[in-house]
Amino acid sequence: MEQLNALIRVEIKEKQEASQRVAAEIVAGMIRGSKYWTLEMLDELWSKLTPFLNEACKNLSSEAVLGWCDGFWLIMADVDPRRMYRVVEFMHSLINTPSTTSTLIETSRWHLVQKLENFEWRIPAVWHAINDHAKDMLAHPYKSVREYIAS
């Protein structure tokens, strides 16, 4: 976790995109590989991973968004959503966080939430909650945010 935290805090612009992508792929591998872990091991992983992912999502740069989107796509590709309910809950929490003043962060969060499309119709309660939240956000002052919400 210390190495992952160091990766998302890289300040040098040239290295930031690569560091964020590496962190996203490591997280994807950890989550995909954890499907056979015990419940206690999963609880410990997610107790450490949730604050890390929250920090990563709050500090997304325009270059890092695609890396994290690819990472979340890898996590959820061809997997039963019942096995990935913690990921689904985290993605759902992204829309429940208060709106930020940064258009980039807000559009990035909605871009990440779109990766739930891998589960299509299999998570109707989450899609319903996203739909309700999206309806409330349609009057958002930024056009790019409204476009991501609409998509």
For the chain, domain boundaries: 2-150
Q: What is the pLDDT at residue 92?
A: 86
Are 20 and 68 a contacting pair, CB within 8 Å? yes
**pLDDT at 45 (0 to 100):** 92
Name which of 128, 134, 136, 139 is nearest 150 in CA terms.
134
The domain made up of 2-150 has a fold known as Leucine-rich Repeat Variant (1.25.10)
Residues of the chain scoring pLDDT < 70 = 11-17, 99-101
Q: How far apart are CA 8 and CA 2, in angstroms?
A: 10
pLDDT at 101: 63
pLDDT confidence of residue 135: 87
Q: Say which amino acid occupies 94.
A: L
Across the chain, mean pLDDT equals 84
Environment class of residue 27 by beta-carbon count within 10 Å: exposed (0-12), middle (13-18) or buried (19+)? Answer: buried
Q: Can you tell me the distance from the alpha carbon of 131 to that of 125, in angstroms, rounded to the nearest whole number?
A: 10
